Chain A
Amino acid sequence: MTKNPLRSRPTEWLVTAPSFLWLLLFFAIPAVIVLAFTFHGHTANGGVGDWSLSTWRELVDPDYPAIVWNTLRLSFEVTVWCIVLALPCAYAIARMNKRWRAIVAGSIMLPFWTSFVVRVFAWKTMLHPDGWLQACYLTFLQVREWLFDWLPGFLQNALVFVGFASRAPVDPASSTILDSEAAVVLVSVYSFLPFAIMPIYTAAEKFDFALLEAARDLGAKSFYAFRKIFVPGIRQGIVSAVLMVFIPAIGSYVIPQMLGGTNCILIGNKIFMRAMQNRNIPHASALATLMAVSVLVPLALAMWWKARQNARDRRRLEAETARLTVTQGGAA
C-alpha cells in the first residue's frame, strides 16, 4: 500500500485549522473571558472594573439563590412531564408498522418548520385571559387545591417548602395563566417534547417486543410489564431524553420572558437583564458560570452512570464466558 500523502502532519494542521481556530477564538476563549470577568468588580457606567472578589460575594444576594433554585425546580418539572408523555408516545410509534412509523415520527418533528418565536406568540395569544385555556387553568388550580387539602400535613409542608405548592386559596380574579409559572411549564413542555420523544423512540425501535409478550404469557399485567421490562430496556434512550430536555430547560429564557412576566424569572432572564439592561457584565458572567455548572453536573452524572452500566455489563459477560468455559471443560 502506498503511503497516503494526505495523512502527513502538515496536512493535518491545514485541514484542522479552520474549525479549530474558529471554535478556539469564538467558543473556548470567550468562555475563559466569562470566567475571568467573574473575578472583576463592575463600574457605575457599565464597564468592567478591577480584579476583585466582590462579584462572587454579591452573588449571595437573596435574589440569586432563589432564582437558581426556581430554575432547577422548573427544569425538573418540565423534564418529568416530557418523559411521562414521551414514554407512551414512543411506545405507540415503535409498535406501528414501518410506513406509519415514518409518517408519525416525521410529523412529531414537523412543528419545527414554523419559527419558534412565532409559536410562542401563538401560545401567548391562546393564553389570553378571556380565552378558554384560562377557564381550564382555573379548574386545574381548584382540583390541585382540593388534592392538596387531602394530603397529610407533613407532605403539605414539604411541597410548600420546595415551592411546588402554596397555602393561599385560589383567587379566580388574580390567577391568570398568562404571566404565571404554569404557562412557562406548559409551553416549555410543548417546545421540548419532540426532543424527548425522538431519543426514546429510537431506543424503543430496537427493543424486542417479544419480551413483553413473554412477560404477559407468564402472567404479568400490561402496566407491570411496561414498567419492569420496557422501561429498563430503553433506559439509554430515557437518559438522552432527560438531557435533551433538562439542559435547554435550564438555559431557557425566551419562554419565561414572553409568558412568565414578572412572576417567573429564571437564570436565563437574569443573565439577559444583567448583561443587556443593567450593564453589569461581571454579575451576568457569574450567573452564566453558575448555569454552566448546573448543566455540567447532571451531564457528568449521566456519563458516570453510563460508564458504570457498561462496566457492569462487561463484568457480567466475562463471568458468563468464564462459567461456560468451565462447564464445557468439564463436559470434555
Chain B
Amino acid sequence: MKRSFFSVAVLALVLAFLYVPILLVVVYGFIPNGVSMSFFDSSGRFMGFTAKWYGQIFGGAASVRALLQSFWLSLTIAALATLVSCVIGTTAALALHRWKGRLQQIHHALVYTPLIMPDILIGISLLMLFVACKVDCGFWTILIAHVTFCVSYVVMTVLARLQDFDDRIVEAAYDLGAGPWFTFFHVELPILLPGIVAGGLLAFTLSIDDVVITSFVNGAGTNTFPTYVSSMTKHSRNLPAVFALSTLMLLFTCVLVGLSKLIAGHPRVSRR
C-alpha cells in the first residue's frame, strides 16, 4: 500500500504544534524571574531553573494564597456541578429514551440547543436572568451556570449508552415482580453506570476549565482558577506559580489515567 509522506509530515508538524505549548507550561514553571518571564537576567546571563514556585505552592505562601483559594473553589464547584448534572442528566436521558411524544420533542430541543450555542451566549443570558431577578452573583450563580452547560453533555453520553440497552431487561424485572424503584436501582442504574461516569468525567473537565461563562456570573471577588488566571495581568509577579500548579495538575491527571488504564488492562479485571 502506498503511504503518503506528505500527510504524515503534516500530522507530525500538527502534533508538535499542539504539544509545544504544553511542554512550555512545564518549563515556565521553573522560571526564576516572574516579572520578565525569562530565564536570563538583564545582562543576558542564564539564571538556571528554580523550584521556588513549587515550594510556595506546597508551603501555602501568602503570595499564592488567592491562586490556591481559586483552585479549591474550582474543585468544589466542579464536584458539585458534576453531581447535580449527573442526576438531572440521567433522568433526562431516561425520559428521552423511554417516551417519544410531543413533550419529549421539546425536551430534546431544550437539551440539544445549549450544545450548539457558543459559551458566551449562555453566559450573557444567565447574567441577564440574574440581573432581571436582581440576584447577587457569587458561588451559587456559578454553580447554576455550570450545571446548565454540563447537563447536555451528560445526557448525550448516557443516551449513547442507552442505545445498546435491551429494554426487555426492564420488562423482565417487572414480570418478576420488581417495583419501579427497585428496577431502577438494581437493573437500570448498574447498566448505565459506565455512561454516567463517562458523562460525569466530561462534565467535571468542562466545569473546571470554563472561563467564559464563569466570567459573566461570578460577581465581584469570587474567582475560579480559570477566571483568576485570566485576570492576572502582564505585570503579575507570580505567573510561574500558575504554570507550576498546572504542571502538578497535568501530572496528577496523567497518573490517574495511567492507573485507570493499568486497572482496566489488568487480566483479572478485563476478564470479568
Interface of A toward B, CB cutoff 8 Å: 1-2, 4-7, 11-13, 15-16, 18-20, 22-24, 26-31, 33-34, 37, 48, 85, 88-89, 91-93, 95, 104, 107-108, 111-123, 125-126, 128, 130, 190, 193-194, 197, 209, 213, 216, 222, 243, 247-248, 250-254, 257-258, 268, 271-272, 275-276, 281, 284-285, 288, 291-292, 295, 299
Contact of B121 among A197, A222, A251 (CB under 8 A): A251
Please tell me if the beta carbons of B110 and A23 are within 8 angstroms of each other in the complex.
yes
- For residue A92, which residues in chain B have a CB less than 8 angstroms away from its CB? 4, 7-8, 10-11
A-B pairs with beta carbons under 8 A, tally:
244
Please tell me if the beta carbons of B18 and A190 are within 8 angstroms of each other in the complex.
yes
Q: A5-B180, A7-B99, A12-B99 are in contact. Are A33 and B107 (CB under 8 A)?
A: no
Q: A19-B89, A116-B226 are in contact. Are A295 and B118 (CB under 8 A)?
A: yes
Please tell me if the beta carbons of A31 and B125 are within 8 angstroms of each other in the complex.
yes
CA distance A275 to B212 in the complex (A): 13
How near does chain A come to B245, taking the closest CB pair, in angstroms? 8
Contact of B155 among A19, A126, A248, A284 (CB under 8 A): A19
Shortest Cβ distance from B247 into A: residue: A114
Please tell me if the beta carbons of A26 and B128 are within 8 angstroms of each other in the complex.
no
Instruction: Report the stretch among B51-59, B191-199, B249-257, B262-270 that lies at the interface.
Output: B249-257
- For residue A107, which residues in chain B have a CB less than 8 angstroms away from its CB? 15
Does B62 reach chain A (CB closer than 8 Å)? no
- For residue A115, which residues in chain B have a CB less than 8 angstroms away from its CB? 208-209, 225-226, 229, 246, 249
Q: A16-B104, A27-B110, A125-B37 are in contact. Are A275 and B116 (CB under 8 A)?
A: no
- For residue A91, which residues in chain B have a CB less than 8 angstroms away from its CB? 4, 7
Please tell me if the beta carbons of A281 and B128 are within 8 angstroms of each other in the complex.
yes
Does B30 reach chain A (CB closer than 8 Å)? no
CA distance A13 to B242 in the complex (A): 47
Q: A22-B151, A95-B4, A253-B120 are in contact. Are A111 and B110 (CB under 8 A)?
A: no
Interface of A, secondary structure class, is helix
Please tell me if the beta carbons of B18 and A248 are within 8 angstroms of each other in the complex.
no
Q: A2-B175, A30-B126 are in contact. Are A121 and B239 (CB under 8 A)?
A: yes
Please tell me if the beta carbons of B92 and A18 are within 8 angstroms of each other in the complex.
yes
How near does chain A come to B50, taking the closest CB pair, in angstroms? 16
Does B47 reach chain A (CB closer than 8 Å)? no
Contact of B230 among A93, A197, A258 (CB under 8 A): A258
Please tell me if the beta carbons of A122 and B111 are within 8 angstroms of each other in the complex.
no
